[in-house]
Structure 1
Amino acid sequence: MKDPKDIIKDIVIFSRLSDNDIKIISNILREVRFKEGETIIEEDEEGNTMYIILEGEVEISKTLSLGNQDKMDKILTRLTPESHEVIGEMALIAREKRSASVTALSDCVLYEIKRDDLNRIIEENPCLGIKILYGLCELLSKRLKKAGDDIIKLSTALAIALSG
């Protein structure tokens, strides 16, 4: 497994941090393990943690409600450590329910960051807090842009399908 500092540097949220900043962040990382098939994040549950994938593969899915009260899971994406992505990041800033489920597709090792621990770092070190919050904004902005692009593609495809 890569050194925690190297893993953190590859994550957008932490890419602007100095080595000293990363050392501070490393102190709040907690290694957690999930077995294949275990739920890491449950859609519609309260959340207060973000995860960084160290080993294994996860699947992100969302429950779709169909008109006749039936529900089905829609797989949104699969992530590995090479993705350099985080999961559950919205729980660090918004006290809302989880927007999707995350399931371990293989045995996984992740770093967990809790909202309270991150808030403590932000309060104790405002300059570091600004860098982290800027990184979170950058990540969420990228995801929002992608979601907007996806909506345009889907609405265009639907319009074409309905007109033909």
Structure 2
Amino acid sequence: MYLFIFSALLIIFQYVNSKNIIDKYEKDIDSFKTEIAEQEKTIEALEEQNFELNYFNIDRNDNALDYFVAQGYNTEQLINAIKEGLYNMNDYEGDDHPIVPFVSMTDSKLLINKVRILNHRWIVANFTDGEYWGEIFITYEIDENNDLKYKLVEYFMYPKVA
């Protein structure tokens, strides 16, 4: 009789313990499924935001790329050459930057930091001397000698915030 009661208590204990473990696992699985669904929504929103942010970018502008391909250019090399042409302007002598129409107001030189090629004609870039920041809008073209020609169209410098 004692063996039967002991066995019944042991079976009831194992049943309750196993049920609690299974319930905990189910709760964990549900919470992970909820978290995964939220993360997937976040990823989807970030992908949409990334698409919107890259809209004005030559890498996503098939018409601009087709323009260069039709003229026989390797677009990857050309895009790198366009950017390098602007970055190479950072190596200048004196106070006047070759394309930025401002003079540094610190001991540092004005340098072009970031370049975004919008399409087969337009570029937006920012510049700084380490303390003051600004942006320039540039047009570019490739002449008959395959030389890049840059033309400053618009520019501004942010006022220094105290």
Which structure has the higher relative contact order (CA within 8 Å, separation 6+)? 1
* TM-score, normalised relative to structure 2: 0.22
* TM-score, normalised relative to structure 1: 0.22
- Of Structure 1 and Structure 2, the greater helix share is in 2
Larger Rg: 2
